Amino acid sequence: MKIYVAGHRGLVGSAIVRAIEHTGEHTWIGQTRQELNLLNRSAVFEYVAKERPDWVIIAAAKVGGIHANATYPVEFLSENLQIETNLIDACHAADIERVLFLGSSCIYPKECPQPIKEEYLLTGPLEPTNEAYALAKISGLKLIEAYRKQYGHRWISAMPTNLYGPGDNFDLENSHVLPALIRKLHEAKVDKKESVTLWGSGAPRREFLHADDLAQASLSLLENYDADMALNVGAGEDISISDLAQLIAAVVGFTGKVEWDKSKPDGTARKLLDISKMRAFGWNARIKLEDGIRNTYSQFLESKK
């Protein structure tokens, strides 16, 4: 199969490329942002029509943590809507056989029974700090669902939990919590600080999935799944942000004190996905959190050389 990976240089896209290359059964294509601006609708249509891939994986998106989402809601809503509608509509125009749209677990209501089942989507208000991004992702998976209903396309969606891994974004202004903690605690170690102050209370619980595990799940879904429901993809267990910080501190070698600025927002109290439907396929995450953090930290150190 010829697979177009939209966003192939990002955290998720690069992991999917590694998984495709490892299979030896498929080939992949992709374009950098300079080569193909996904906000340019006509250019996206032209590229997909020209290349006519068998499968398309939509891993491209404007992403960021709580601070970035709260500061730039227009960009997070508008740009993500444009990226996904341009790609999905172009795939319809080119009659692409299989499309996988990757959403996000932030699409679920802020107050949600745990673990979160796929059926809980749109049953309550969203978390305000990332509402714009969540609305865009909900729109994307609903557009996939609409194309299935109206045109019979064998297209699917998946909703991954919090992701991390090689190629992550370590920018303190717009990164997610795990890479941000790696950088903060590493710099605290290098600067020989006696303590480091982190956002929030440390009490919220989060689930983390290595990008390589999501990549394997993505290929498995394209090969085996064909139904309306967007499936959860997660690790099946969560950890408090406080315990995560201690785990990362141990990995990077920071021995100082971790303190918490409780004036900063925590976000959703807990977010753990029910992955029973994915497990029914025989799929399970393979990379343990500590091993994944060590792998990610090694890549971070390499990037600083």
What would the 3-class secondary structure string for 6-45 be? ECCCCHHHHHHHHHHHHHCCCEEECCCCCCCCCCCHHHHH
- pLDDT tens digits, one per residue of 110-166: 889 999 999 999 999 998 888 999 999 999 999 999 999 999 999 999 999 999 999
User: Considering 4, 47, 108, 133, which one is annotated as catalytic?
Assistant: 133
Question: Using CA atoms, how far apart are residues 186 and 169, in angstroms rounded to an integer?
Answer: 15
Tokens for 250, please give them.
């141990």
Taken as a whole, the chain contains a residue count of 305
Is 199 among the domain residues?
Answer: no
Mean predicted confidence (pLDDT) in 210-235: 97
Is 103 among the domain residues?
Answer: yes
Entry pTM:
0.94
Question: Using CA atoms, how far apart are residues 160 and 104, in angstroms rounded to an integer?
Answer: 5
Question: Using CA atoms, how far apart are residues 61 and 116, in angstroms rounded to an integer?
Answer: 23
CATH number of the domain that 134 lies in? 3.40.50.720
Question: Using CA atoms, how far apart are residues 35 and 236, in angstroms rounded to an integer?
Answer: 38
Is 77 among the domain residues?
Answer: yes
> Which segment of 7-21, 76-90, 158-172, 231-245 scores lowest on mean pLDDT?
158-172
133 is annotated as an active-site residue: yes
- pLDDT tens digits, one per residue of 264-279: 888 778 899 999 999 9
Range of the domain at 32: 2-167+207-237+272-288
Is 297 among the domain residues?
Answer: no
Is 245 among the domain residues?
Answer: no
Question: Using CA atoms, how far apart are residues 14 and 2, in angstroms rounded to an integer?
Answer: 16
In whole angstroms, how far apart are CA 303 and each of 91, 137, 167, 263, 298? 35, 30, 9, 33, 9
Tokens for 207, please give them.
């689930």
Amino acid at 300: F
Domain count, the chain: 1
In whole angstroms, how far apart are CA 143 and each of 87, 103, 138? 11, 12, 9
